[in-house]
Amino acid sequence: MLSPNDMMPLYQQLKERIKESILSEEIKSGEKILTEREFTEKYNVSRITVRNAIAELVDEGYLIRKQGKGTFVNRRKMEREIITFLSFTMACKEKGVKPSSKLLKREVIEPSAEDFEALELGEQDRIIHIQRIRFADDEPIMIENNYFSYEKYNYLMDEELETSLYELLSVKYDIHPCRSKSTIEITRAGEAEVTYLNMVKGTPMFVIAATAYDRENRPVHRSEQIIVAEKFKISYTNGF
């Protein structure tokens, strides 16, 4: 129970109790918390005490309110540092998150002008387009489009692609993507994101477009990742 004799105000005591339950994962990520009424009955406090505690946890990002549904533990965001080259799988593992993939498309298509420039294609070369949904702890977090030279990477048409592409290239083919040139933009969820990522149309999304290079500075592939903004955080380290 909370102590009215404690120097810490009741709402802060309650806030710390809820926060501790979140950090210890007693209340899981994405799980709905008790209602105001349930909190008042459980801790014998007023509704204003409960509201103040929850309001601060919402402001600090531990909780999120969903209109008409209640208040939930805010899901952890995947984080990627933009000056560090990390595959999605590696980024997940660094954060203790389980990565997985679902293959949507594997097709041979004609290259775009962007493909010719980024991938240094020959005149007759075509493109392997691989489209996947990427999951973090079974939550869909992005639609990923990868574009490879068919002439150089035609064996990908026969590989199992619901695992790490970079691990496959590295372990089986001794190809080691190690740096990338990237751009980041903001867009809004369209029909594909509504369908595959369970988004509401118009939800903010990150778009990370990149070309990855191997140790000899040769282009490996071009990619476009369309990422749910509320589930993803981009960070960088200043050199000063």
- Find the CATH number of the domain harbouring 51: 1.10.10.10
Residue 52: count of CB within 10 angstroms of its CB = 18
For residue 2, name the pLDDT band (cuts at 50, 70, 90).
confident
pLDDT at 239 over 50: no
What average pLDDT score do residues 197-221 get?
92
**138 and 161 together in one domain:** yes
**In this structure, is residue 53 part of a structural domain?**
yes
Does 4 fall in a domain?
no
State the residue range of the domain holding 150.
Answer: 78-235
pLDDT of residue 234: 62
What average pLDDT does range 89-116 have in this prediction? 90
pTM over 0.85: no
| Residue after which a domain boundary falls, among 20, 53, 73 | 73
**Within a domain: residue 87?**
yes
Tell me whether residue 5 is in a domain.
Answer: no
pLDDT digits (tens, 9 = 90+) for 122-175: 989 999 999 999 998 888 989 999 999 999 999 999 999 998 999 999 999 999
72 near 33, Cβ under 8 Å?
A: yes
Output the CA torsion sign for 11, 56, 81, 103. positive
pLDDT for the residue numbered 62: 84
Please provide the DSSP assignment of 111-152 as one string.
Answer: PPHHHHHHHT--TT--EEEEEEEEEETTEEEEEEEEEEEHHH
User: How many domains does the chain fold into?
Assistant: 2
Residue 29 has pLDDT above 90, yes or no: no
CATH number of domain containing 195? 3.40.1410.10
The pLDDT of 3-20, averaged and rounded, is 86
pLDDT at position 79 is: 56
Q: What is the DSSP letter of 217?
A: S
* Residue 2, domain member (yes or no): no
Shared domain check, 59 and 43: yes
In this structure, of 23-27, 118-122, 169-173, 182-186, the range with the lowest mean pLDDT score is: 23-27
- Is 100 among the domain residues? yes
Looking at the DSSP assignment, which residues form a beta bridge with residue 97? none
